[in-house]
Amino acid sequence: MSQEGAARPSPEDERFGPDGEPLDPRAIARASLAADRNWSLWVIAGAVLFSVAIALAAGTPTGALVLSCFLACCAVVRAVVRKSPAALVVRRRAVDVMTLGGLAVAIGVLSQVVPSA
């Protein structure tokens, strides 16, 4: 049977990645153990902590606006950079960009509309 006639695995099959390549469980385990050395996870954790610190120091609307700006930057990075940082790659590029951008807009608008106590 030729390559063209070969059936691709179904997307629901957990043994295959989104492009149809077989997944190696050992490689996945090694990657998850190396997650603490991934710089993008630390940048995102630091940005969230920075947003919380700004919220405590300058008020909740300001902290939420800082978080919103960071999410917008993440959406741009995910949209533009070919090999995006691991912490930003969850689904397909379009889904990730729409999710990050939508959250950025929603949090930014809510931070300015909702009255602070």
Q: What is the pLDDT of residues 92-115, one digit of tens each?
A: 999 999 999 999 999 999 999 988
pLDDT given for residue 44 in this prediction: 92
Beta strands in the chain (DSSP E): none
Q: How far is CA 114 from the centre of its chain?
A: 26
Dihedral Cα 34, 50, 70, 41, nearest 10 deg: 0
Q: With bands split at pLDDT 50, 70 and 90, how would you rate the model's confidence at 31?
A: low
pLDDT of 20 over the 60 cut:
yes
Other C-beta atoms lying within 10 Å of the C-beta of residue 99:
16
Could you give the count of Cα atoms lying within 13 Å of 86 in the half-sphere of its Cβ? 11
pLDDT of 6 over the 60 cut:
no
> Average per-residue pLDDT in the chain?
83
